[in-house]
Amino acid sequence: MVERKSTEFLDRFWRKVDVRSEAECWCWNGARFAAGYGQMFVTGRTRYAHRLSFEIANGSIPPGMVVRHTCDNPCCVNPRHLLVGTNYDNIVDKMVRNRSGCSEQAKRKLSAALSGRPAKNRKEVEFRGVRYESLSAASSASGVSIPTVRKWMSRGEGRIL
C-alpha cells in the first residue's frame, strides 16, 4: 500500500495529474506504459498510476483484486472513475464495452453465461449420414481427428448444419 501521509509522495504524484472537475477524467501527465496507463516509480518498483490514485483515496487494494476504470480512459487517475473488482469483472467490462478485441463468438458465449442461458457455441454437423452435436463428437464417433473430419466434409461426406 502507498504511504498515504507522505507529503513528498503526494506532491510528486499530484504534480503529474491534470486535475479537472469531479466528473471529468484526470489524465496522468507523467510516464506511461505502452497501453496508455500511467506509471510511477515508488518504493523501489514501478506502479500503475491509477492503482496509486485508488490507494490514496481509498486505502489498500484487497489481494487478488484489480482497479477498473469506469471511463475506459487508461490515463485517467480520477478516484471517482476507479473501482475495485476481480479480473473477471474487468474482462466482462471490456467485452460489454467492445474494448476486448475478442470475437463475436466469444461475446455471445459471455452474454449467454451472464444471462444464464446456454451458449450456442457448438455447430451441429452431419457426417456420413449421421447427425452429431459437434465436430468433436463426429471425430470421436468416427475414430479420426477433427482435421480429418473437416477434410472428408470438404470432399462431400458431411456438412455443418
Residue range 138-152, pLDDT digits in tens: 888 878 888 888 888
Say how far apart CA 54 and CA 146 lie, in whole Å: 49
Return the DSSP state at 98. Answer: T
Q: Which CA distances in Å does 137 have to 50, 127, 129, 143?
A: 47, 10, 14, 10
Whether 50 shows a pLDDT value over 60: the answer reads yes
pTM exceeds cut of 0.95? no
Whether 89 shows a pLDDT value over 80: the answer reads yes
